[in-house]
Amino acid sequence: MTGEMRQYDRRRHARIVKDLFTVYTIAAPFEEGLFTTKNVSGAGILFRSSGSLKMGVLLNLNIHLPDRVNPIPCEAKVVRTCTTEGRSPSFDIGVAFTKITEADKKQLIGSLLTQDDLYLFL
């Protein structure tokens, strides 16, 4: 079994690869920005950024769904930052949800699932 497969087996939540427009803010020092998700799960989000974020930083997020007028508000903590390869420096940032209502989490995942995604849960 490869290391990649072992890592996948340890995950408690399936990842759904979707591009979602998300606005973030950091309280201190104040910073705000936009990103598009690379993948989403019931536990958090992975996104690409041109700048790095420190481990443990708390982000206030507003996740915009295609079928919802108001964004889903939540809080997440940076749990992973990896440098990506390419022409310009960029980072894959992994955040874990720290505050999100169960109703919003269900709507987030439910709105992203398609018939093709169901294999993730079988």
pLDDT, tens only, 54-82: 999 999 999 998 878 899 999 999 999 99
- Whole-number pLDDT of residue 3: 43
Classify 8 as helix, strand or coil.
helix
For 27, 32, 82, 116, the CA distances from 95, given in Å and listed in that order, are: 16, 16, 12, 25
Neighbouring residues of 21: CB distance < 8 A, sequence distance ≥ 6: 34, 36, 64
For residue 12, what are its two tokens? Answer: 């408690």
pLDDT tens for each residue of the chain, 122 residues long:
344 443 444 455 566 667 788 888 898 788 898 898 988 888 999 998 888 889 999 999 999 988 788 999 999 999 999 988 877 788 999 999 999 999 999 888 887 776 555 555 44
pTM recorded for the entire structure: 0.77
Question: How many C-beta neighbours within 10 Å does residue 63 have?
Answer: 21
- Whole-number pLDDT of residue 120: 53
Q: What is the CA radius of gyration of the chain?
A: 15
- Whole-number pLDDT of residue 94: 95
Q: Alpha-carbon distance 77 to 79, whole Å? A: 6
Q: Alpha-carbon distance 39 to 24, whole Å? A: 16
Helices and strands (H, E) in the chain, number of each type: 2, 6
